């Protein structure tokens, strides 16, 4: 019985260390990706998709990380501004509606563009 309990304890420790390493790896990858923030240009209040990550060379590793982060950033801003439209009214709500439209449209089009290139 003691041998079985020892084996179970050993397996539990092994599983916990594996899951902790995987979580740490994912967290460090996310942190590393955030070091390459996306920048873009706008025209008439719309994000120009072809300029996303213009601040990095096209064929670089940093550019690819930036493009991944850009997709996340656009989705997050879309969600944030949509949520704010439910909180406010009047001119403030109009402003947030405009911002939500800008980021949600860019997010949808950017995602289509990225998926089309794969």
Percent of the chain with pLDDT strictly greater than 90? 62
Evaluate if residue 2 carries a pLDDT over 90: no
In this structure, are 17 and 48 located in the same domain? Answer: no
Q: Are residues 81 and 58 in the same domain?
A: yes
Structural domain containing residue 113: 37-117
Answer yes or no: do 58 and 96 share one domain. Answer: yes
Residue 45's region, left for phi above 0, alpha for psi from -120 to 50, else beta, is left
For position 76, what pLDDT does the model report?
A: 96
- Mean predicted confidence (pLDDT) in 26-53: 82
Measured distance CA(110)–CA(71) in Å, rounded: 7
42 and 88: one domain? Answer: yes
Q: What is the pLDDT of residues 4-15, one digit of tens each?
A: 766 666 655 655
68 plus 109 within the same structural domain? yes
Same domain (yes/no): 49, 18? no
- List the one residue out of 53, 21, 14 whose CA is nearest residue 37: 53
Mean per-residue pLDDT over the chain, rounded: 82
Q: Is 13 exposed, middle or buried (0-12, 13-18, 19+ CB in 10 A)?
A: exposed
Nearest to 49 by CA among 2, 98, 116, 1: 116
13: its two tokens: 């420790």
Average pLDDT, integer, range 43-67:
94
Confidence at residue 36, expressed as pLDDT on a 0 to 100 scale: 81
Domain count across the chain: 2
Residues 50 and 96 in one domain: yes
Q: What is the DSSP string of 43-54?
A: ETTEE-GGGTTT
């Amino acid at each position: 019985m003691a041998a079985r309990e020892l084996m179970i304890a050993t397996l539990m420790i092994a599983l916990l260390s594996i899951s902790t390493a995987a979580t740490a790896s994912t967290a460090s990858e996310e942190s590393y990706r955030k070091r390459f923030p996306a920048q873009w240009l706008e025209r008439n209040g719309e994000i120009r998709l072809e300029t996303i990550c213009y601040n990095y060379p096209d064929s670089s590793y940093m550019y690819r990380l930036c493009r991944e982060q850009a997709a996340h950033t656009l989705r997050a801003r879309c969600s944030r501004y949509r949520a704010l439209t439910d909180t406010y009214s009047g001119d403030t709500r109009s402003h947030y509606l405009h911002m939500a439209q800008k980021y949600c449209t860019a997010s949808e089009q950017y995602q289509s563009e990225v998926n089309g290139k794969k």
